[in-house]
Chain A
């Protein structure tokens, strides 16, 4: 009985004060979107399905940054460090141990753990050293740039871990795709329908899990710290611990992005930790609306699709457009374009019945 009760309570946290969207309309829309996403491979060709997985890959990083920055109020400029570390770790483990017996799944877990461990070590010094604001952004950016530089000079044959060559700027390739052991024959998750469903399921699980987290007691305190860290501390909360745990969770999600990306393309390069790569997640999250998981997710998908379209259709200015988009957002809707639109629609919906009543 008690187990069912606590489960119901946990599920109740799927909606709450820290997330937009509640009640029947939202969850109907959510179900519809999930149903459409599930049906998508039935009427799309293999390339588009694979390309969608590419978008999904980045969503984890965006959600993690939303948690750290949007909910926690800490701007980390270097989430790509965890992306890269996890991607390379996946490469090293899976190249050395192969894809039999579910070892790639082990590699996935170990790589995400490696990213979390790096976040724990870095975060410990940042938060327990009381570094915040712009300095935290500078330090995290420096870390990712240092890692990029380091990996860029690993071209020589001496830079190898077992069978895995790091390969400098050319990047590490040839790692196996994620493979799920199955009776009879293993399921290899090529960037096609199987990987699509695998990534989609992971994404939905992470999104719902994060909704529960931010509406929980932990999430309440996290938002309180964002609003007024001094007051939160003076209510008896060790804010350093909350910030550190948040940073670790968000960075583990960036790591998950890194593993999925590496497995998707069987390839990872130092550029994935470079300046451009580090700046883009900030744009996705800021444009959507960083202080809400749903707007972050929608914003990230739209911006990613737009960026890719610009790049494919030959525009040399895709990055400039991204920069302009960020500036526009900051000027017009500092809380995010999708967030602003969402609040506007919610306001209109709420106002209508009143008018009818008047």
Chain B
């Protein structure tokens, strides 16, 4: 059953057709990666799902309900959560406070402290809990951001380039983290450039090109698809 579905989703920015009639279905329980050359419309699709942009036409369904016009915070409250590409942490607040703000929304006050401690341990940030979030290393910031997204106990987790700027070790650890969450029942949709990471985690891959779905399949099917290789090479020669 699809947890998230878009139907004939279109987005125009002036004369630019950035999302071109996308019919996309994300099955409950899968880890699904969105890839595509720069400008393929991955980020726009993300923003449409999050409600940061409203589509020009089309529909977005989440767990069978129409959320096309819902406000961002309403979508989050329904069980969607996001980790941004640039860590959107609260730099002037401590690591613990960052997590508290993410958790206090749904967590009963009596369980809040214990829940934060558990999450700190999961993120390997227990030692750094009193540090200002702005002083963390880049990888730690990414994890904290993941922790905030996870702290909402989402049923659908959106990850926008979760491993950007990470070392190979950090990338691998992030992959394990994502897989652990998935085992606990979280559906994951990730925009990612790092093909090694995609190979590590993805059950299914969708390739976007010029705002349309270009190809869909397992990572092996996508890698074997010559047309996909061609658009990436085409992109590389233009760059």
Binding site for B on A (CB under 8 A): 17, 217, 220-221, 223-224, 227-228, 230-239
Contacts and interface: CB of A to CB of B under 8 A. Distances in A.
Given A236-B73, A238-B73, A220 B104 contact: yes
Nearest to A241: B73
B77 A236 contact: yes
Interface residues of B, number: 26
B82 A234 contact: yes
Given A228-B88, A231-B84, A221 B101 contact: yes
Nearest to B145: A231
B90 A223 contact: yes
B25 to A, nearest CB: 23
B152 interface: yes
B94 A235 contact: no
Interface string B205-229: 0000000000000000000000000
Given A236-B76, A237-B73, A238-B73, A231 B94 contact: no
B71 interface: yes
25 contacts: A17-B93, A217-B104, A220-B97, A220-B101, A221-B101, A223-B90, A223-B93, A224-B90, A227-B91, A227-B92, A227-B93, A230-B88, A231-B88, A231-B89, A233-B72, A234-B88, A235-B101, A235-B102, A235-B148, A236-B105, A236-B106, A237-B105, A238-B71, A238-B73, A239-B73
A182 to B, nearest CB: 42
Given A223-B92, A228-B88, A235 B152 contact: yes
B182 to A, nearest CB: 21
B101 A224 contact: yes
Candidate in A17, A228, A231 with the most chain B CB atoms within 10 angstroms: A231
A231 B105 CA distance: 14
Given A220-B97, A220-B100, A220-B101, A234 B50 contact: yes
Nearest to A237: B73
Contacts of A235: 76, 101-102, 105, 148, 152
Nearest to B105: A236
Contacts of A236: 73, 76-77, 105-106, 152
A315 to B, nearest CB: 38
A305 B31 CA distance: 64
A199 B22 CA distance: 63
Contacts of A233: 72-73, 76
Given A227-B90, A234-B88, A236-B106, 10 more contacts: A220-B100, A223-B92, A223-B93, A224-B90, A224-B93, A227-B93, A228-B90, A236-B152, A237-B73, A238-B73
Contacts of A228: 88-90
Contacts of A238: 71, 73
A37 to B, nearest CB: 32
A234 B100 contact: no
Closest 5 CB pairs of A and B: A231-B88, A236-B76, A227-B90, A236-B77, A224-B101
